[in-house]
Amino acid sequence: MTNGNLIKAKDRDMVIQSLQAGVVPRKGQHLIQVGRVEEIKAVIRDLDRMAEGGSAIRFVIGEYGSGKTFFLSLVRSIALEKKLVTAHADLTPDRRLHATGGQARSLYAELMQNLATRTKPEGGALPSIVERFVTSAVSEGRDRNINPEAVIRERLEHLSEMVGGYDFAEVVAAYWKGHDNGDEHLKMNAIRWLRGEFTTKTDARQALGVRTIVDDANFYDQLKLFTQLIRLSGYAGLLISLDELVNLYKLANTQARKSNYEQILRILNDCLQGHSVGLGFVMGGTPDFLMDTRRGLYSYAALQSRLAENTFAVNGLVDYNNPILRLGNLSPEDLFVLLSKIRHVFASGDRTQYLLPDEGIQGFMLHCSQRIGEAYFRTPRNTVKAFIDLLSVLDQNKQVSWKDLVVQVNIGAESNPDALASQVEDEDDLATFRL
Question: Domains of the chain, with CATH numbers?
Answer: 33-119+236-324 (3.40.50), 126-217 (no CATH), 332-427 (no CATH)
Write the DSSP symbol of residue 325.
E
Sheet holding 85-90, edge to edge: 85-90, 238-243, 279-285, 56-62, 324-327
What is the value of pTM for the model shown?
0.83
CA distance 240 to 231: 15
Strand locations in 194-304 (E):
238-243, 279-285
Please list the pLDDT of the chain residue by residue as tens digits (435 residues). 334 478 888 888 888 888 887 777 877 777 887 777 788 899 999 999 999 999 999 999 987 767 788 889 989 999 999 999 999 999 999 999 999 899 999 999 999 999 999 999 988 999 999 999 999 988 888 888 888 888 888 888 888 888 888 999 999 999 999 988 889 999 999 999 999 999 999 999 999 999 999 999 999 999 999 999 999 999 999 999 999 999 999 999 999 999 999 999 999 999 998 888 999 999 999 899 999 999 999 999 999 999 988 778 777 777 888 899 988 666 788 888 889 999 999 999 899 999 999 999 988 888 777 776 655 655 667 778 888 988 999 999 988 888 888 766 544 444 344 433 333 333 333 333 333
CA distance 382 to 375: 10
3-state secondary structure of 324: strand
pLDDT of the residue at 95: 94
pLDDT of the residue at 249: 92
CA distance 103 to 91: 10
